[in-house]
Amino acid sequence: MRLGRALLWGGAIGLLLALTCGCQRQFVFSFTWLATQTPTTTVTCTATPSSTHTPTPTRTTTPTRTATPTASITQTPTPTMSPTATRSPTASPTVTRTPTVTLTPTPTPNPFPTPDGMQREAWVPILMYHYISAAPAGADALRRDLSVAPADFEAHLRYFRDAGYESITLYDLAMYLQRGVPLPEKPICFTFDDGYRDHVTNAVPLLLKYGFRGTFFVITGFADEGRAGYLSWDDIISMHAAGMEIGSHSYMHADLAGQTAEHIVWQVLGAKEALEARLGAIAPLFCYPFGHYDDLVIAVVRSAQYWVGVTTAQGLRNASDGVFELRRVRVRGGDDVDDLLLNIEYLRNLDLTPTPTPISATRRG
C-alpha cells in the first residue's frame, strides 16, 4: 500500500515536471512506468476525483443572479400601466357638463312680428284706467283723479257694447300695425295700469259680463312681495286664465328715464321673465312707469323682445313706426259716458303727432 502511494505521487510529480519543462518523453516514460508498476489503476481513478474541488456546483450560484433580474422586470411594468387606465374616466365628466348649459329655458322665443313694409295708422281708442273703485274718504286729488267707481265703469262698458264696439288686445293692434292683420270695424281697447287688487274683484267680472277683454299692466315685484292692495300671483294667473291680457309695468314701478342700462334691464327684462314663467305664455307688452322713458329705455324694451310700449300720452292715432310709443285716452275719476265720449272726440279732431307729449307733462302712469 505504501509502495502504491509512493508510485502514485512519483507519477504525479513526473507529470508536472513534464508539463512545465515541455519534456514529453519523461511524461510518457513516467506514465508508462506508472502503468506497469501499479496494476490497481482503480485506486488512482477513485483518488483523482479529488480534483473536483474546483467544482462546477459553485458555478450554479449564477442561477440565483438570473432570478433577480426577472423579479425587477416584472415589477416595473405593473405600476406605470395602471394610472393610464384611471385617467380615462376623468374625460367623461367634461362630456356630461356640456349638456348642462341648457339655454333652452327660453322655450318660446317671441321675436317681434316682422313688418311687411307697409305704413299703417290705427285710430283706436285705447282707454287708460287705474283704480276701479271709489276713492276712500279723505283721499287726495291724485287718488280721486285715478279712481273710477264700478258703477261708472259699468256704464262705459254698457255704452260701448250697445254701440257695437268690439274689444281688441294690444297684441291685436300690434299685428295690424306690423302685418296688416284685420281689426274689427269698431275696435276699442281697455287697459288698466298698476295692478291694483280691485282689477280682479271689480274690473274683470264686469268685462266678462259685457263680453269684453282687458289688458292689465302688473308690477311683478309687488306680486312677489304679496303687497297689500295689489294683485297677487294667484290673481294674475286667474285673470290670464279668464282671457285677460297681461302686460308688464316693470318690476318695482321705478322711473326708468335717465337710468343706467343695467337698472333698466333689471326692471324690464326681469318682469317679463317672471310673467312668462308664471303664465306659460309670452308677455310682449310693456307700459312705461309714470309714462317716463327715453331712447335707452325704448332700446332695452325692444331688445327684451317686447312688441309694444305704452305711454301715458293722450291721443287716438297710432302708427306702425310708433309701436313703442302708443298713446291712450285717460279716463278720469267722475267721468261719465258723455265726458268720456267728448274726450275721445276731442282727441280725434286734434292734429296730434305720433311723438308723445314731453316727459315732464306726464307724471303718473
Q: Report pLDDT for 46.
A: 39
Distance separating alpha carbons of residues 274 and 260, to the nearest angstrom: 21
- Which range is most confident: 50-64, 109-123, 201-215? 201-215
Question: DSSP letters of 207-222?
Answer: HHHTT--EEEEE-HHH
For 342: left if phi > 0, alpha if psi spans -120 to 50, otherwise beta; the answer is alpha
pLDDT in tens, 142-194: 999 999 999 999 999 999 999 999 999 999 999 999 999 999 999 999 999 99
Q: CB count, 10 Å around CB of 52?
A: 9
Cα–Cα distances (Å) from 147 to 30, 128, 198, 335, in that order, read 153, 11, 11, 10
Are residues 25 and 125 located together in one domain of the fold?
no
Cα–Cα distances (Å) from 341 to 125, 160, 248, in that order, read 10, 10, 28
Domain with 272 in it: what CATH number? Answer: 3.20.20.370
- Mean pLDDT throughout 98-105? 42
In the predicted structure, residue 354 carries a pLDDT above the cut 60? no
Q: Report pLDDT for 350.
A: 85
Are residues 182 and 286 located together in one domain of the fold?
yes
Distance separating alpha carbons of residues 214 and 258, to the nearest angstrom: 31
Distance separating alpha carbons of residues 126 and 277, to the nearest angstrom: 27
Least confidently predicted of 65-79, 99-113, 220-234, 316-330? 65-79
Are residues 37 and 144 located together in one domain of the fold?
no
Q: Is residue 309 part of a domain?
A: yes
Please count the residues of the chain: 365
Strand partners, 309: 286
List of residues 6+ apart from 274 with CB closer than 8 A? 220, 223, 224, 251
Q: Is residue 98 part of a domain?
A: no
Q: CB count, 10 Å around CB of 209?
A: 12
Total domains in the chain come to: 2
Question: DSSP letters of 18-41?
Answer: HHHHT-HHHHHHHHHHHHHH---H
Q: Is residue 105 part of a domain?
A: no
Q: Report pLDDT for 5.
A: 53
Are residues 189 and 320 located together in one domain of the fold?
yes
Q: Is residue 76 part of a domain?
A: no
**Best CA proximity match to 125, nearest among 175, 167, 163, 181:** 167
Mean residue pLDDT across the chain? 78
Q: Is residue 251 part of a domain?
A: yes
- Parent domain of 4: 1-45
In the predicted structure, residue 96 carries a pLDDT above the cut 60? no
Q: Is residue 16 part of a domain?
A: yes
Q: CB count, 10 Å around CB of 166?
A: 16
* 216 phi/psi in degrees, rounded to 5: -115, 120
pLDDT in tens, 316-343: 999 999 999 999 999 999 999 999 999 9
Q: Is residue 226 part of a domain?
A: yes
Cell (9 digits) for 16: 508536472
Q: CB count, 10 Å around CB of 355?
A: 12
Are residues 333 and 222 located together in one domain of the fold?
yes
Are residues 228 and 134 located together in one domain of the fold?
yes
8-state DSSP, 201: I
Q: Report pLDDT for 291.
A: 96
**Best CA proximity match to 219, nearest among 241, 195, 246:** 195
Are residues 22 and 150 located together in one domain of the fold?
no
Least confidently predicted of 73-77, 199-203, 269-273? 73-77
Q: Is residue 239 part of a domain?
A: yes
Strand partners, 248: 218, 286
Are residues 241 and 147 located together in one domain of the fold?
yes
Q: Report pLDDT for 357.
A: 47
Strand partners, 167: 188
Are residues 341 and 212 located together in one domain of the fold?
yes
Q: CB count, 10 Å around CB of 50?
A: 7
In the predicted structure, residue 103 carries a pLDDT above the cut 70? no
Are residues 40 and 170 located together in one domain of the fold?
no
Answer for the pair 289, 315: CB distance below 8 angstroms, yes or no: no
Are residues 40 and 127 located together in one domain of the fold?
no
Answer for the pair 117, 311: CB distance below 8 angstroms, yes or no: no
- Mean pLDDT throughout 344-352? 84
Look at the pTM and tell me if it is higher than 0.85. Answer: no
Answer for the pair 192, 130: CB distance below 8 angstroms, yes or no: yes
Cα–Cα distances (Å) from 126 to 96, 105, 331, in that order, read 52, 34, 10
Amino acid at 277: A
Cell (9 digits) for 203: 274690473
Distance separating alpha carbons of residues 190 and 208, to the nearest angstrom: 12
Answer for the pair 182, 205: CB distance below 8 angstroms, yes or no: no
Q: Report pLDDT for 9.
A: 54
Are residues 30 and 131 located together in one domain of the fold?
no
